[in-house]
Chains A and B, each alone.
Chain A
Amino acid sequence: MQPTHSSRRILLPVRNWFIVLTLFLALVLNLVPFGRFPGIPDWVALVLAFWCIHQPLKVGMAAGFFLGLAMDVADASIMGQHALAYVLLAFAAAGLSRRVLWFPLAQQAIHVFPLLLGMQLVMLVTRMIAGAEFPGVLWFLSSVTATLLWHPITYVLLTPQFQPEDKDVHRPI
């Protein structure tokens, strides 16, 4: 495993408890009551997309579904709204994972942005069909913030997998 497929650095294997811990922490961060303050990223969506891209065999649509149910209860929204959006996000992220990891981080973020925006659009369409009011264009700012966070969060979430580079100048290859 490498940080990106074009990198020469080899990562340690990921630990399962670390994935669970980060997803749980993202859920806790999402519970922080910011109200209608614009530009707060959806941490669960971001971390879920990250793991779906980096570990598509371990984190997938089932995780998205159950995290979505938890968010539905926490948000007091309609049951199934976040679940549907996260399942579609996980599917798209896992599908893109082979491609995205070939790019450097900035271009990865460009790939992630439409995923997150699409997730918000799914939620918007679901709620508008149910007859809710339009939350305003500023609501989409949270996808932009989340995209800008892709670079730092990659380093944060991959930190336990990095191993010290030991440069052996005498090694033949």
Chain B
Amino acid sequence: MSVVGHAPPPFFKRGPAPLVRLAFFVSLSLVLLVADLRFHTLEWARLAVATAAWPLQRVTGIPIDAAGDFGGYLSRQRALLGENEELRRRQLGTANLLLRQDHLEQENKRLRALLEMRERQPVEGRIAEILYAARDPFSRRVIIDKGGQHGIAAGQAVVDDIGVIGQVTRVFPLTSEVLLLTDKEQAIPVAVQRNGLRAVLAGAGAGMMELRFLAANAEVQVGDTLVTSGLDGVYLPGLPVAKVVKIDRDSSYSFARIICAPLAGVERHGLALVLGGRTALPPQPDDAPSTPDQPTRGKRVKKKVR
């Protein structure tokens, strides 16, 4: 018997209908998706939550670390001895180069001064350990154990002992996130080491990369080494990046399809070097210099006769 002014018994109250709730939460999620994808406005929230969850994340990593340590403990002594021997041999092999590097750098500096060129920026870096790969299966990112507290900034290049592996994209106080070269959203300006041909290398998924926007008859061969060109002002020039493994010159497309494999252990774990930021390049010249004789709409301008 419901009387006007009396609420129904509480056990019939269940809030809004399921479909209404579904519509509410789905639209909320879609708003978040668009806000993050298009406008990148949620970085601060991510930073706050990630910082709060950092101790928990380290704790959950302990069993994996322990399993890895245990596996390493069980690795045979002979393997370790062999690796030791190999490392010593490599060190001797490179000692010659290392000893002469100082001398060569000095000489390079003097020669560059003679030629009145800009000095090459000295490389400085910070060693970081790759903690783990981010769980997101759709992108290729790793987390390293150095963050804003250690002077890491977003945009810095990350290399290992062979070549470039990626770029710092997000910096948390104690960790940072590195977007690997093989990610689809990552692009890096490179030059072919053999002839200096410039191009843009982008991730192609499945651990490979693709050299984009090169004409079908571009002078690239299988086996060419690609190094950073340094034109972007982010990567230092001359760092090895990738090797060309397959070229598909189809004349029906204007661009060649050039597949490259990364040189460095991009998908491997271990130690990495975060290179310091580069000094800024000189500002680019404006595309449209505002000179007074700029043709404007509705006005005919005589061509200059030389």
List A residues at the B interface (Cβ < 8 Å).
Answer: 28-36, 57, 60-62, 64-65, 68-70, 73-81, 83-84, 87-88, 91, 94-95, 126-127, 130-136, 139
Interface size on B, residues (CB 8 A): 46
B138 to A: closest C-beta gap in Å: 4
Q: How far is the CA of A135 from the CA of B134 in the complex (A)?
A: 13
Q: How far is the CA of A94 from the CA of B141 in the complex (A)?
A: 35
Contacts A31-B56, A57-B14, A79-B46; A65 near B170 (Cβ below 8 A): no
Binds A, one of B23-31, B237-245, B246-254: B23-31
- A-B contacts, 21 listed (Cβ < 8 Å): A29-B60, A31-B53, A35-B132, A35-B135, A60-B18, A60-B21, A62-B21, A73-B45, A73-B46, A76-B135, A76-B170, A83-B28, A84-B29, A84-B33, A87-B26, A88-B22, A91-B18, A95-B18, A130-B37, A133-B139, A133-B205
Q: Which residues of A contact B56 (CB under 8 A)?
A: 28, 31
B268 to A: closest C-beta gap in Å: 11
Q: Which residues of A contact B127 (CB under 8 A)?
A: none
A12 to B: closest C-beta gap in Å: 20
Q: Which residue of A lies closest to B132 (CB)?
A: A33
Q: Which residue of A lies closest to B43 (CB)?
A: A79
Is residue B184 contacting chain A, with contact meaning CB distance below 8 A?
yes
Is residue B49 contacting chain A, with contact meaning CB distance below 8 A?
yes
Fill in one digit per residue for B10-40: 1 if any A CB lies within 8 Å of its CB, else 0.
0000100010011001101111110111000
List B residues at the A interface (Cβ < 8 Å).
Answer: 14, 18, 21-22, 25-26, 28-33, 35-37, 42, 45-46, 49-50, 53, 56-57, 60-61, 63-64, 131-139, 141, 143, 170, 177, 183-185, 203, 205-206
- Chain A facing B: main interface SS: helix
Q: Which residue of B lies closest to A64 (CB)?
A: B25
Q: How far is the CA of A76 from the CA of B177 in the complex (A)?
A: 9
Q: Which of B22, B136, B143, B184 contacts A87 (CB 8 A)?
A: B22
Which of A36, A70, A131 is the most central at the interface, judged by chain B CB atoms within 10 Å of its CB? A36
Q: Which of B18, B22, B26, B35 contacts A79 (CB 8 A)?
A: B35
In addition to A70-B53, A78-B36, 13 A-B residue pairs with Cβ atoms within 8 Å of each other are A32-B60, A33-B135, A35-B135, A57-B14, A73-B45, A73-B49, A76-B170, A77-B136, A80-B30, A87-B26, A133-B206, A135-B138, A139-B137
B26 to A: closest C-beta gap in Å: 6
* B205 near A33: Cβ-Cβ < 8 Å: no
* B29 near A74: Cβ-Cβ < 8 Å: no
A24 to B: closest C-beta gap in Å: 10
- Which are the 7 A-B pairs with shortest beta-carbon distances? A80-B32, A33-B132, A133-B205, A35-B133, A84-B29, A132-B138, A80-B33
Q: How far is the CA of A131 from the CA of B33 in the complex (A)?
A: 13
Which of A30, A60, A133, A135 is the most central at the interface, judged by chain B CB atoms within 10 Å of its CB? A133
Contacts A64-B25, A73-B50; A83 near B32 (Cβ below 8 A): yes
Q: How far is the CA of A157 from the CA of B217 in the complex (A)?
A: 64
Q: Which residue of A lies closest to B49 (CB)?
A: A73
Q: Which residues of A contact B50 (CB under 8 A)?
A: 73-74
* A84 near B135: Cβ-Cβ < 8 Å: no
Q: How far is the CA of A36 from the CA of B135 in the complex (A)?
A: 7
Q: Which residue of A lies closest to B185 (CB)?
A: A131
Q: Which residues of A contact B22 (CB under 8 A)?
A: 61, 87-88, 91
Q: How far is the CA of A135 from the CA of B137 in the complex (A)?
A: 6
A82 to B: closest C-beta gap in Å: 9
Q: How far is the CA of A68 from the CA of B205 in the complex (A)?
A: 26
